[in-house]
């Protein structure tokens, strides 16, 4: 091989190595050793309810900050959106296909954890790993207080309660938010004969939209519903559930098993020493009325 060809070959190898490095950086999240080496924990959060308020606080903001402190690194909040958050963590842009996903491209990794009241959904579990459940939830139908729909009487059987709620939805306009835990396609709302209206705002704006008359009712999960009942007393009411009980958790890239393990151990410690219950009482005091068993001290 002559000198010119050798230089060309070396150049190609170097370019390939650079591209490979960039590709790995895009396609995988940062695990615990890299977080400690970089000296920073990047918290990906979508402003939502009292998990990430958008004003610098929230239960998940405080928990992520305490986790960073526990690891001995700096905490950095990275604002994101529901459509981008998974890609920002994993480096993979995905589309939900029922309980499955389709990867449609690579994107830069911008954070190390997702924490914003992130509901555990089957399609999300295909692309991220969840922590120990951190918060209980369920999807309810919320309507204006003057709606002709009346709240169902709980029967003690969730399936029966869901059927009772769905029987009230025919010909009514129901708001939902695609690609989130409030996606109507996840709960068979279309099959009820309801008119589905996909909301173009954010989750925090669903209850005000119903109050303003944009729809007859909306899908809303427990944390946001509790805030709506507190923020607009006498203006909204809960009709009943359209899902079984669900859990929320912190999400980690599939390539970050050590970070996940470290968080689970940290979270267990926070539950045992009362730190977590203190934060729940601060941000969601009413949740103990609905899900006392979730917060029972073992």
Residue 1 in any domain: the answer is no
For residue 29, the model assigns a pLDDT of 55
Domain containing 205 equals 139-244
What are 236-282's pLDDT values in tens digits? 999 999 999 999 999 999 999 999 999 999 999 999 999 999 999 99
Using the 3D structure, point to which of 244, 263, 280 is the last residue of a domain. Answer: 244
What are 66-99's pLDDT values in tens digits? 999 999 999 999 999 999 999 999 999 999 888 8
One domain, residues 23 and 166 = no
One domain, residues 184 and 272 = no
What are 109-161's pLDDT values in tens digits? 999 999 999 999 999 999 999 999 999 999 999 999 999 999 999 999 999 99
54 vs 213: CA distance, rounded Å: 26
pTM (two decimals): 0.82
One domain, residues 51 and 103 = yes
Residue 201 in any domain: the answer is yes
Spatial neighbors of 76 by CB under 8 A, at least 6 apart, are 40, 41, 42, 43
The CATH code of the domain that includes 260 is: 3.40.190.10
Count: domains in the chain: 2
Strands 217-221 and 173-176: parallel
Please tell me which residue, 16 or 234, carries the higher pLDDT value: 234
Residue 2 in any domain: the answer is no
Phi, psi of 220 (to 5 degrees): -155, 140
One domain, residues 28 and 127 = yes
């Amino acid at each position: 091989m002559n000198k010119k060809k050798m230089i060309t070959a070396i150049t190609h190898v170097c370019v390939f190595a650079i591209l490979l490095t960039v590709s790995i950086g895009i396609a995988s999240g940062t695990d615990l050793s890299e977080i400690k080496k970089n000296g920073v924990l990047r918290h990906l959060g979508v402003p939502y309810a009292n998990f990430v308020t958008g004003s610098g606080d929230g239960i998940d903001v405080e928990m992520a900050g305490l986790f960073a402190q526990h690891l001995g690194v700096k905490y950095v909040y990275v604002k994101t959106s529901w459509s981008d958050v998974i890609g920002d963590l994993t480096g993979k842009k995905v589309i939900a296909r029922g309980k499955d996903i389709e990867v449609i491209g690579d994107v830069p990794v911008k954070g190390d954890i997702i924490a914003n009241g992130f509901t555990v959904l089957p399609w999300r579990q295909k692309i991220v790993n969840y922590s120990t459940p951190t918060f209980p939830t369920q999807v309810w139908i919320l309507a204006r207080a003057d709606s002709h729909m009346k709240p169902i009487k709980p029967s003690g059987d969730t399936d029966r309660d869901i059927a009772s709620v769905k029987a009230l939805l025919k010909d009514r306009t129901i708001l939902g938010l695609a690609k989130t835990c409030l996606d109507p396609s996840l709960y068979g709302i279309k099959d009820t004969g309801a008119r589905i209206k996909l909301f173009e705002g954010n989750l925090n704006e669903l209850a005000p939209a119903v109050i303003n008359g944009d729809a007859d009712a909306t899908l809303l999960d427990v944390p946001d519903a509790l805030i709506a009942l507190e923020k607009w007393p006498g203006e909204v009411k809960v009709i009943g559930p359209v899902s079984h009980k669900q859990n929320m958790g912190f999400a980690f890239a599939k390539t970050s098993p050590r970070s996940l393990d470290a968080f689970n151990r940290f979270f267990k410690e926070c539950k045992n020493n009362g730190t977590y219950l203190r934060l729940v009482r601060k941000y969601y005091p009413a949740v103990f009325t609905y899900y006392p068993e979730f917060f029972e001290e073992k």
